[in-house]
Amino acid sequence: MAGRLEGKVAIVTGAGSVGEGIGNGRAAAVLFAREGARVLLADRKRAAAEETLAMIDGEGGEADVFEADVTRSDDCRAMVEAAVGRWGKLDILDNNVGIGGRGTVVDVDEDEWDRVMRVNVKGMMLASKHAVPAMIASGGGAIVNISSIAAFRPRGLTPYSASKGAVISLTRAMAVDHARDGIRVNCIAPGPVYTPMVAAGGMPDELRERRRKASLLQLEGTGWDVGYAALFLVSDEARYITGVCLPVDGGVIISSTTARG
């Protein structure tokens, strides 16, 4: 075992998956544990996080489940207290929770707009609000926020794109605010990776194939691709990196400037 996160304590939000298979949060949690971190698996759905726990247990890693809705400040406070209470400190936060949101500004429902912003942006603020003081008390840390290439390449998901753009600005602002605390803050913009969230939407094979071909590399991305990027960004190997947004998209952003996807 390489032990790239040996001795670290991590929280992954949205560490379950909406269905069977590997979502971005589940992959990150498994990889963090594989590299020696003790991981609190936070999710609104306990059963989903328990599936991730079973995977980590099966590999001999150390993790625990915490049921939390990241849109609730009290839940986020309790989540951080649970990690620190159990393992004595907090080094890493993977702000992975995110939900979709369709429509233009004309047809989007106002309540739907608020819901997407509340989950995708406020949820990250609240988790960080409670995690940062615990990280400071632990001597510093690393945060990774999960955005999306939808922030750069909008395609009919305007509330989602706006929320994921906000995640990038939030990342940069947090990086500036907390560098002095020894906390690095970066973000990942996944491309069209095939996760349980996508599968649950019943994506037809033909569209799945089109998504694969949209990538310069002609590859279909998975939760593992996003998880490995998160692993690097929260590890000490990335000690000189803060405030960046790393696309993990097989080159989709640059390929789509010539072929409208």
Ligand X SMILES: NC(=O)c1ccc[n+]([C@@H]2O[C@H](COP(=O)([O-])OP(=O)(O)OC[C@H]3O[C@@H](n4cnc5c(N)ncnc54)[C@H](O)[C@@H]3O)[C@@H](O)[C@H]2O)c1
- Binding positions for ligand X, rule: CB under 6 A: 13-14, 16-18, 23-25, 43-45, 48, 68-71, 96-99, 119, 123, 146, 148, 190, 192-193, 195-198, 223
Q: Which is nearer to ligand X, 3 or 207 (CB)?
A: 207
Helix (H) or strand (E) run with residue 94 in it: strand 92-95
CB of 214 to ligand X, least distance (A): 12
> What is the edge-to-edge ordering of all strands in the sheet holding 141-146?
62-67, 38-43, 9-13, 92-95, 141-146, 183-190, 245-248
Instruction: Supply the angle between the helices 158-178 and 123-137 in degrees, to the nearest 10.
Output: 20
Helix (H) or strand (E) run with residue 29 in it: helix 24-34
CA distance 151 to 99: 14
Return the amino acid letter for 165.
Answer: G
CA distance 174 to 37: 23
Instruction: Judge whether 228 counts as a catalytic residue.
Output: no
Return the amino acid letter for 55.
Answer: M
CB of 54 to ligand X, least distance (A): 14
CB of 95 to ligand X, least distance (A): 8
- Using Cβ positions, the residue closest to ligand X within the complex turns out to be 98
Q: Which is nearer to ligand X, 199 or 241 (CB)?
A: 199
CB of 118 to ligand X, least distance (A): 8
CB of 198 to ligand X, least distance (A): 5
CA distance 186 to 169: 10
CA distance 234 to 186: 9
Q: Which is nearer to ligand X, 23 or 141 (CB)?
A: 23
Q: Which is nearer to ligand X, 17 or 186 (CB)?
A: 17
Q: Which is nearer to ligand X, 140 or 172 (CB)?
A: 172
First to last CA, the chain: 40
Active-site residue identified among 160, 194, 228, 240:
160
Tell me the chain's radius of gyration from C-alpha atoms.
17
Which residues participate in catalysis according to the annotation?
160
